């Protein structure tokens, strides 16, 4: 069964023919005043992510990511959200997209990487990108939406790419990469319900923001679909569809005690399949599963967790709900370097392979051929519109 996304098809399907084009030239970079005190008292140190922080051999980054053409390399800067570049998730994938663009000759060597430890870091980090002459700034995550918009409008000669956020109306110098993740999460919920021995599926997130909740909601709806189809009563702990709320740690820091305690409380209720959403906040739960000796599994997010997460957790990953972040970031930088850049939203979904499910890896022998076939059919039915699985607005 094909379970991983085909990202070369994504490029063709997601390329949007938009009228406005950014020239990406040297900018008059004006730092936007978004709060009463936005000037950093200390300038964050510009650091480069070491190679060891990059997720190895992710299925979301094929070897051939860009086409040939005349390109003038641009100076790029990336600002993470609070999960940081070591999240082995969407920050890491976005940074990988920048590094791939460097390798392809589209971005100047030594791109700028600025990590955010607190929400108050967003504006100073963007200010540092601008002060260091960035021609293209990549911001990662829903929480950077306001700061990106304010600074983009104040610096119209700089091109911007934001991951997991959309604007209405579009901003003329911002490309928005957004994902209908609940479609793939729906199929993962059906899969989880079919694999679970306890009949209890658990989920929790870092914060109740759309880019986190969309995974949890899709999972719960997929479990409900399984129950309807099979006449079962598999339960979901951690997300309530009716009131759009559930279990949240309040942090994306895996070392925060709230992460482990949230996982523990859900495991205590009998969950044997867990979907933690928020970078590496899944790892403490993996350790807890191992220490308890449970026959339980994790569902990964963003990048194939079997490859992206530490090897000692590989036996735990049932499947990953994937997004094609790295290749889209590379493509946006390529378009800028080649003079073909345009703003606006690019929505990744199942129909254009912008989202999908990974292989089952270590759990393949515990997914029956019948269930695997049903999951594949659900994916196809969602693509065809036979099954409605997109309930979260994106873009």
Domain membership flag for residue 359: yes
Domain membership flag for residue 167: yes
Prior bond of 355 cis (ω within 30°): no
Residues 6+ apart with CB under 8 A from 170: 176, 343, 344, 345
Instruction: Indicate which CATH number applies to the domain containing 87.
Output: 3.40.50.2300
Predicted confidence (pLDDT) at residue 12 exceeds the cutoff of 60: no
Q: Using an 8 Å Cβ cutoff, are 193 and 226 in contact?
A: yes
Domain identity same for 234 and 176: no
The tens digit of pLDDT for each residue in 58-95 reads 333 333 344 456 899 999 999 999 988 988 788 999 99
Taking the C-alpha atoms of residue 53 and residue 87, their distance in angstroms, rounded to an integer, is 9
Taking the C-alpha atoms of residue 118 and residue 11, their distance in angstroms, rounded to an integer, is 33
Domain membership flag for residue 391: no
The tens digit of pLDDT for each residue in 290-307 reads 999 999 999 999 999 999
Domain identity same for 64 and 134: yes
Domain identity same for 97 and 231: no
Domain identity same for 226 and 373: yes
pLDDT band of 393, cuts 50, 70, 90 = confident
Domain identity same for 340 and 286: no
Domain membership flag for residue 390: no
Least confident of 34-38, 145-149, 239-243, 287-291: 34-38
The tens digit of pLDDT for each residue in 250-282 reads 999 999 999 999 999 999 999 999 999 998 999
Domain identity same for 12 and 110: yes
Domain membership flag for residue 197: yes
The tens digit of pLDDT for each residue in 195-213 reads 999 999 999 999 999 999 9
In angstroms, what CA-CA distances link 381 with 99, 164, 250, 368?
36, 25, 35, 20
Domain membership flag for residue 395: no
Half-sphere exposure of 160 (CA within 13 A, CB side): 35
Domain membership flag for residue 38: yes
Domain identity same for 263 and 275: yes
Burial (CB count <10 Å: 0-12, 13-18, 19+), residue 136:
buried
In angstroms, what CA-CA distances link 262 with 119, 135, 213, 249?
23, 42, 16, 7
**Selection from 286, 281, 142, 289 nearest residue 205 by Cα:** 281
User: Pairing mode, if any, of strands 200-205 and 273-277?
Assistant: parallel
Number of structural domains the chain divides into: 2
Please indicate whether residue 367 or residue 64 has the higher confidence score (pLDDT).
367
Domain identity same for 17 and 102: yes
Helix (H, G, I), strand (E, B) or coil at 200: strand
Domain membership flag for residue 153: yes
Domain identity same for 158 and 226: no
Domain identity same for 190 and 311: yes
Domain identity same for 154 and 195: no
Residues 6+ apart with CB under 8 A from 302: 89, 90, 93, 308, 320, 321, 322, 323, 325
Q: Using an 8 Å Cβ cutoff, are 82 and 118 in contact?
A: yes
Domain identity same for 17 and 103: yes
pTM of the model: 0.76
Range of the domain at 330: 7-180+326-348
pLDDT of residue 69: 60
Predicted confidence (pLDDT) at residue 151 exceeds the cutoff of 50: yes
């Amino acid at each position: 069964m094909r379970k991983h996304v085909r990202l070369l098809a994504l490029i063709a399907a997601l390329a949007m023919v938009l009228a406005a084009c950014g020239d990406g030239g040297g900018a008059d970079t004006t730092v936007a005043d978004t709060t009463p005190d936005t000037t950093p008292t200390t300038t964050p140190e510009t650091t480069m992510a070491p190679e060891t922080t990059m997720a190895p051999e992710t299925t979301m980054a094929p070897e051939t990511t860009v086409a040939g053409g005349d390109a003038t390399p641009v100076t790029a800067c990336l600002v993470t959200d609070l999960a940081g570049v070591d999240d082995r998730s969407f920050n890491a994938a976005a940074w990988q997209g920048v590094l791939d663009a460097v390798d392809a000759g589209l971005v100047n060597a030594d791109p700028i990487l600025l990590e955010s430890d607190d929400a108050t870091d967003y504006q100073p980090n963007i200010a540092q990108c601008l002060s260091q002459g960035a021609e293209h700034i990549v911001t990662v995550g829903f929480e950077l939406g306001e700061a990106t918009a304010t600074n983009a409008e104040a610096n119209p000669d700089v091109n911007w790419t934001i991951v997991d956020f959309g604007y209405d109306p579009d901003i003329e110098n911002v490309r928005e990469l957004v994902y209908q993740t609940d479609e793939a999460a729906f199929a993962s919920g059906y899969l989880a319900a079919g694999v679970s021995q306890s009949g209890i599926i658990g989920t929790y997130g870092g914060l109740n923001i759309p880019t986190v909740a969309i995974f949890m909601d899709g999972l719960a709806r997929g479990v409900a679909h399984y129950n309807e189809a099979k006449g079962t009563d598999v339960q979901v702990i951690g997300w309530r569809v009716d009131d759009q709320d559930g279990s949240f740690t309040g942090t994306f820091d895996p070392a925060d005690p709230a992460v482990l305690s949230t996982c523990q409380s859900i495991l205590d209720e009998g969950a044997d399949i867990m979907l933690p959403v928020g970078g590496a906040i899944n790892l403490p739960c993996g350790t807890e599963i191992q220490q308890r000796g449970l026959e339980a599994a994790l569902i990964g997010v963003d990048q194939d967790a079997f490859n992206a997460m530490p090897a000692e957790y590989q036996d735990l990953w049932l499947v990953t709900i994937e997004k094609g972040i790295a290749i889209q970031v590379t493509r946006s930088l390529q378009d800028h370097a080649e003079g073909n850049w345009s703003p606006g939203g690019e929505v990744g979904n199942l129909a254009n392979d912008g989202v999908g499910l990974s292989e089952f890896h270590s759990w393949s022998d515990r997914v029956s051929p019948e269930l695997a076939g049903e999951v594949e059919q659900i994916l196809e039915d969602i693509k065809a519109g036979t099954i409605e699985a997109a309930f979260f607005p994106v873009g």
